Structure 1
Amino acid sequence: MKYNFDKLISRRGTDSYKWDSAKNEEVLPMWVADMDFHTAPAIVDTLRRRVEHGIFGYTRVPDSYYEAVTDWFARRHNWTIDREWIIYTSGVVPAVSAIIKALTTPGDKVLVQTPVYNCFFSSIRNNGCEIVSSPLLKTGDTYRIDYDDLEQKAADEKAKVMLLCNPHNPAGRVWTREELMRVGDICLRHGVTVVSDEIHGELVFPGYIYTPFASLSDGFLQHSVTCISPSKAFNIAGLQIANMVCADEEMRRKIDKAININEVCDVNPFGVIATIAAYNEGEEWLRQLLEYLYENYIRMRDFCREYLPDFLITRLEGTYLVWMDCRKLKRTSEELEKVLIEEAALHLNAGSMYGVEGEGFMRWNIACPRARLLDGLERFRQHALLLLQ
């Protein structure tokens, strides 16, 4: 392997939200969804050259940016994106918030499939809308969609938008074409616009295929907005760059107005050039990253089967976020998060932050060197055995 993902890199003292939030420096953070790996060398080299220039004024987004984005999705995902459909912004969360502002009025309903990314909830509430959950159905070590429930809730005349997480965080699902078609048909039939968060789209494991929702039909394309970013796949979340893809001109005009109202219409020069470098020169690095992440998942799965049989983890099809069932401990997720930090020096995400369906679960971030992953698993094992007694 050309790139060394086993390298242990200290992130303490860099004002890392993930690593510098804990007062106790012995705490191993496996929570916030960024990776503990150096990003692709092509990105680092591009940023270094820009820094050496020494002037960091306002930036414009060049033609080469749009070309990098559209070429990547055409080449890797067979999705032809017109440059005019792209609106850039500072992140997927600001994008989702602006889209909700553009497409709803206060009091409207927004559908989500829980357990789901926690920022969906705040984006909905901050725009004065009502959260309507269509819970996913847990079946063995995976989740599936409750289409009957989704149909019933989409039929409500106040339901205007559905936030789709594709691939899904934290359930680890990579939705199939058939699943996406059924979701899209329901939403199209009831006039619900699909806003698809596809930030984890590049992080898909063998046997699974990421399908952009809007690529499935012209009807889906015209009645959806897709949020994409290289930030998760290339570990550049701090550079704050994302894109909204919206083919419908009137909808795009409303979104453009909303991002200006929310003051998230400008991006920084580092995010722009990092995106270009990632999409033009980062493909081999990403391929090797996926091999490493998949092996991390296999190691965690095998460890849990042998040493933690009471703690079922969901089958990970995509993302680097593992969902663990900890209900055998008979503690709330928030209680367990606190206990693990204080007594095991391990920080995981409480499942309850992803909706009531996440109560009793914990989310692991396994995007780290393998030695660090095994350290975290051993810390959990030792403490879980004490709690089970």
Structure 2
Amino acid sequence: MEKALTYSFTTASEREGTNAEKYTLREELFGTQDVLPVWVADMDIDTPQCVLDAVKKRLQHPVMGYEEVPKSAFMAQIEWMKKEHDIDFNLEDMLYSHSVVASMHTCIEAFTKEGEGVIVQTPVYPPFFHSILKLNRKLVKNSLKLDSEGKYSFDIEDFKAKINENTKLLLLCSPHNPVGRVWRKEELEEILAICLEHNIVVFADEIHSDLVYKPNKHIAFASLSQKAKEITVTALGVGKTFNMAGFAMSSVAIQNKELKEQFKKAYDRVHFAQGSSLSHVAFETAYKEGKEWLEALKSHLYNNYLLLEAVAKKYPQFIKITPIEATYLAWIDCRSMGLKDKKLRAFFINEAKLGLNPGISFGREGSGFMRLNFAVSSAKMTEIVQRLESALQRRQIG
């Protein structure tokens, strides 16, 4: 294993000219190639060398046929979850999935019927509500509360008020994308009590659980109690943690046997299969050998966040950075700029030369906000900050 001191995020491999989504879609999304793309949630940071070396070793065997996910891969994840997040999964709880969104679709199909209600807590990652609507379920919006300090919390009274006999499922984003919250145990316990009372299944998207900044600590929803285990479907993976989205491998953990059987009926209709042999190797290696790399990465990411925060503090009349507890996605409050959402997006494209996610795409509660991915090298972060500050400075003068 490499020593932590050898990890450097000063620069990263260039992704322009590759088939990287954030670069190939610039013209389509922003109408120009002249933006730095800081939208889609993957990193402009090299995937850990230990993962790449393991894949190279596997390629020495010349056959790339069908393979089952090895038990050792799931065991590596189970051991990681126990050590890092104090939750006990068993091998029989685990299922392969190529993505969390696919797992979410399957969960909606498994536990709801057309017309039944699925709760989301907005603003939230757009596939949460897109999945519900595509499957002809009823979208039930329980908007998060935003206080004067820019911190979000659950609106428990609204949550209770939105539930009726046709409400069957909660899609919980934990840690939350895009607002960066790490939900506290007592907050999750309030949600749990209500879901237990109304027989609501919880799909816990915990894909960002490893990207949490101290002193915050991720609490796995299923770890709250034995009763929590009975109603929870947990989505996990290495894609965000180790910048491995291109391996298309995640997992689903379901501890209740009956719940798993019900999920499997929908799962088997889709035919998820078992993924690729290279993904299996990459997945297992990341969990076994990636800890030191991850700790160095989180320190680097938080430093990047502080650079953004410093710009916001220089121009408080224009922007505020939502206090971050997890993820590498800055949720920027631009409401003080007084721009409609289309003009706000245009400001970032044309003035700052940055391609961000418009907050309105996360639900109407995101109006006036923008999401910026700061998982980049130090060199690229310097450029991002310079572009943003120059644009704000011109606006201040002009």
TM-score category, normalised to shorter length: over 0.9
Structure 1 position 308, deviation (Å): 4.7
What is the aligned counterpart of 2:161 among 140, 152, 155?
Answer: 152
Contact 1:333–1:362 at 8 Å: present in 2 too? no
Aligned mates of 1:200, 1:173 — CA distance in 2? 11
Farther off after superposition, 333-342 or 310-319: 333-342
1:84-163 equivalences under 5 Å are 84-139=92-147, 140-154=149-163, 156-163=164-171
Residue 69 (structure 2) pairs with residue 61 (structure 1): yes
Aligned mates of 1:144, 1:307 — CA distance in 2? 26
Aligned to 1:51: 59
TM-score, normalising length from structure 1? 0.96
What are the superposed Cα offsets for residues 52-73 of structure 1, whole Å, 9 maximum, x if unpaired? 3233221211111121111111
What are the superposed Cα offsets for residues 76-116 of structure 1, whole Å, 9 maximum, x if unpaired? 11111011111111110000000110000000110011000
Structure 1 position 172, deviation (Å): 0.4
Aligned mates of 1:352, 1:263 — CA distance in 2? 34
Farther off after superposition, 337-346 or 293-302: 337-346
Unaligned residue ranges in structure 1 (runs of 5+): none
Aligned mates of 2:99, 2:339 — CA distance in 1? 34
Aligned to 2:16: 12
Matched-pair identity in %? 35
Aligned to 2:175: 167
Structure 1 position 181, deviation (Å): 0.7
What are the superposed Cα offsets for residues 114-145 of structure 1, whole Å, 9 maximum, x if unpaired? 00011111111122101111111111221111
1:1-389 equivalences under 5 Å are 1-23=5-27, 24-139=32-147, 140-154=149-163, 156-387=164-395, 389=398
Q: SS in structure 1 opposite 2:21?
A: coil
Unaligned residue ranges in structure 2 (runs of 5+): none
Aligned mates of 2:374, 2:236 — CA distance in 1? 22
Aligned mates of 1:269, 1:170 — CA distance in 2? 32
Contact 2:307–2:385 at 8 Å: present in 1 too? no
Q: SS in structure 2 opposite 1:194?
A: strand
Q: SS in structure 2 opposite 1:259?
A: helix
Runs (4 or more) in structure 1 with deviation over 6 Å come to: none
TM-score, normalising length from structure 2? 0.94
Letter in 2 for 1:98: T
Contact 1:94–1:264 at 8 Å: present in 2 too? no
Contact 1:308–1:381 at 8 Å: present in 2 too? no
Aligned mates of 2:243, 2:171 — CA distance in 1? 24
RMSD in angstroms over aligned alpha carbons? Answer: 1.5
What are the superposed Cα offsets for residues 132-163 of structure 1, whole Å, 9 maximum, x if unpaired? 11111111221111111111123x11110000
